[in-house]
């Protein structure tokens, strides 16, 4: 039988131990067989012989035979260290893959989530929900185009209750927050017949509103309750999504919602005033050069009186808007918002025009041509003070408009040429004619 060098080499300490064991084994055999001195001589000769002695085949070369299926033996792994596991080395090590999540998913897993990721189309459940949401959105816009506001409101409710991957719909995405305010305003709107006076009123027809085709038309009328609900909706959005300095470029926040709130508020005041003027058959301004005939004198006086009252109410309702905007624009970032600055400039021009109209009304009262009564005014001093106050307010609002539009021009924002030309004109005060009589 061929002899191979053992794979396992014992250390020196084990070598001396094996030698001693072999000597004891030979001595035990000699004592059992009675070899005597010959055995001693043979043993001494064996120790002194340079040739190796061939041992019996049944005798193991080492006291502890090596198991060739031992994992330590197969891998050459030191026994002082534990194995790697996973049936190593007879099978490959299954390393646990540490999947690195994208930053979007890490932000989405926070509580509360700081980012809503766009889900991949592989998710069948989420894909069906998104398809359902797309269909509801199409139905919503189709109902709005047809003017079916009741059905559009029910569809909007279904959209708000839809959840994709356990997350509700964010109304700030894709302009949905504007759709909600529009539905609140127009859900209970009515249609009103446009009033057009007969052509016998001669030049007064130029002051009456007509449709483009010359026939009577139905005008949508938004109720005051609709405007109130829309403004309350924007107020809640401002509280829910305030402007945060640590995230200035985040999604829709109060900086974008405030212009929409003031826009609806100004539209409410103008719509209410226009609706009242249509009832008495006048436009936004009366023709100062119109001289009605004797038959229409009483009718013209009543219309002028109603116009003055409506103009005064319109001014009183517009002043709180300016006060709210002035308080808001005292602090950044609202003081540099281009949308708010543009709105404040147009509001200043609107207020200046109404103050001038009220100044003219008090001038007519001082001159004795007022339509409020047939005789001279009772308190001329009070009328004179009111006239001058309205003139000062008109001048102040005009200066505010100049300053605002100049700030927009410095910020490289386009300003209409007609507004620039209008502001360059000198402000003409209403002449004081109370002493002319």
Indicate whether 108 belongs to any domain. Answer: no
Indicate whether 160 belongs to any domain. Answer: no
| Better pLDDT: 115 or 123 | 115
Whether the pTM exceeds 0.85: the reply is no
Statement: residue 355 has pLDDT above 70: yes
Structure tokens at 189: 């709107």
Structure tokens at 128: 């069906």
* pLDDT band at residue 236 using 50, 70 and 90 as cut-offs: very high
Instruction: Determine the average pLDDT of the residues in 68-86.
Output: 75
Q: How many domains does the chain have?
A: 2
Indicate whether 23 belongs to any domain. Answer: yes
- Collect all residues with Cβ–Cβ distance below 8 Å to 160 and sequence separation of at least 6: 168, 169, 171
**Of the ranges 83-97, 233-247, 417-431, which one carries the lowest mean pLDDT score?**
83-97
* pLDDT band at residue 208 using 50, 70 and 90 as cut-offs: very low
Instruction: Determine the average pLDDT of the residues in 348-360.
Output: 90
Per-residue confidence (pLDDT) for residue 191, from 0 to 100: 81
Rounded Cα–Cα distance for residues 254 and 232 (Å): 14
Taking alpha carbons only, the member of 56, 16, 11 closest to residue 24 is 16
Q: Could you read off the pLDDT of 298-347 as tens digits, one per residue? A: 777 778 888 888 988 999 999 999 999 999 999 988 988 999 999 999 99
| Better pLDDT: 105 or 388 | 388
Statement: residue 235 has pLDDT above 90: yes
Q: Concatenated DSSP letters for 308-328?
A: HHHHHHHHHHHHHHHHHHHHH
* pLDDT band at residue 127 using 50, 70 and 90 as cut-offs: confident
Indicate whether 395 belongs to any domain. Answer: yes
Instruction: Determine the average pLDDT of the residues in 418-436.
Output: 63
* pLDDT band at residue 435 using 50, 70 and 90 as cut-offs: very low
**Of the ranges 121-125, 223-227, 280-284, 319-323, which one carries the lowest mean pLDDT score?**
121-125
Indicate whether 256 belongs to any domain. Answer: no
Indicate whether 305 belongs to any domain. Answer: yes
Rounded Cα–Cα distance for residues 385 and 297 (Å): 30
Rounded Cα–Cα distance for residues 169 and 256 (Å): 19
* pLDDT band at residue 368 using 50, 70 and 90 as cut-offs: low
Rounded Cα–Cα distance for residues 356 and 391 (Å): 6
Per-residue confidence (pLDDT) for residue 198, from 0 to 100: 44
Q: What is the C-alpha radius of gyration for the chain, rounded to an integer number of angstroms?
A: 49
Statement: residue 217 has pLDDT above 50: yes
Domain residues for the domain of 31 are 12-64
Rounded Cα–Cα distance for residues 284 and 311 (Å): 9
Q: Give Cα 47 to chain centroid, integer Å.
A: 97
Q: Round the average pLDDT of the chain to a whole number and report it.
A: 75
CB burial of residue 89 (10 Å; 0-12, 13-18, 19+)? middle
For helices 380-410 and 417-424, the axis angle rounded to 10 degrees is 130
Q: What is the dihedral of CA 180, 185, 187, 191, to 10 degrees?
A: -150
Distances (CA, A) of 414 to 121, 338, 342: 43, 10, 10
Print burial letters for 142-179: b (CB count within 10 Å at least 16), e (below 16): ebbeeeebeebbebbeebeeeebeeeebebbeeebbeb
Indicate whether 206 belongs to any domain. Answer: no
Rounded Cα–Cα distance for residues 339 and 325 (Å): 12
| Better pLDDT: 368 or 258 | 258
């Amino acid at each position: 039988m061929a002899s191979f060098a053992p794979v396992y080499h014992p250390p020196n300490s084990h070598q001396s131990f094996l030698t001693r064991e072999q000597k004891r084994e030979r001595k035990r055999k000699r004592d059992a067989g009675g070899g005597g001195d010959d055995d001693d001589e043979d043993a001494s000769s064996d120790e002194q012989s340079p040739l190796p002695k061939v041992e019996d085949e049944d005798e193991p070369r080492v006291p502890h035979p090596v198991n060739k299926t031992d994992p330590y033996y197969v891998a050459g792994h030191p026994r002082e260290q534990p194995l790697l596991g996973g049936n190593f080395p007879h099978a490959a090590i299954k390393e646990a893959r540490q999947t690195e999540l994208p930053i979007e998913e890490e932000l989405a897993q926070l509580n509360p989530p700081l980012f809503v990721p766009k889900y991949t189309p592989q998710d069948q459940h989420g894909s069906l929900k998104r398809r359902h949401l797309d269909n509801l959105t199409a139905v919503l816009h189709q109902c709005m185009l047809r003017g079916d506001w009741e059905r559009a409101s029910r569809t909007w409710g279904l959209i708000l209750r839809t959840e994709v991957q356990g997350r509700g719909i964010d109304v700030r995405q894709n302009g949905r927050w504007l759709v909600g305010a529009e539905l609140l305003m127009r859900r209970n709107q009515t249609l009103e017949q446009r009033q057009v006076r007969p052509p016998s009123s001669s030049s007064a027809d130029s002051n009456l509103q007509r449709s483009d085709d010359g026939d009577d038309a139905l005008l949508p009328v938004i109720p005051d309750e609709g405007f109130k609900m829309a403004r309350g909706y924007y107020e809640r959005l401002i509280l829910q999504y305030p402007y945060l300095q640590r995230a200035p470029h985040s999604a829709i926040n109060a900086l974008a919602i405030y212009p929409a709130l003031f826009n609806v508020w100004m539209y409410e005041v103008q719509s209410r005033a226009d609706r009242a003027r249509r009832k008495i058959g006048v436009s936004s301004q009366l023709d100062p050069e119109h001289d009605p005939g004797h038959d229409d004198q009483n009718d013209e006086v009543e219309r002028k009186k109603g116009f003055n009252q409506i103009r005064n109410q319109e001014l009183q309702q517009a002043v709180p808007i300016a006060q709210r905007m002035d308080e808001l624009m005292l602090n950044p970032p609202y003081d540099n918002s281009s949308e708010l600055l543009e709105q404040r400039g147009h509001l200043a021009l609107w207020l200046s025009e109404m103050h001038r109209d009220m100044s003219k009304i008090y001038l007519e009262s001082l001159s004795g041509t007022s339509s409020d009564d047939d005789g001279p005014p009772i308190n001329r001093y009070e009328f004179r003070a009111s006239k001058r106050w309205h003139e000062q307010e008109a001048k102040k609002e005009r200066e505010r408009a100049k300053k605002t539009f100049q700030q927009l021009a410095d910020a490289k924002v386009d300003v209409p040429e007609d507004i620039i030309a209008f502001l360059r004109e000198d402000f003409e005060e209403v002449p004081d004619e109370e002493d002319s009589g």
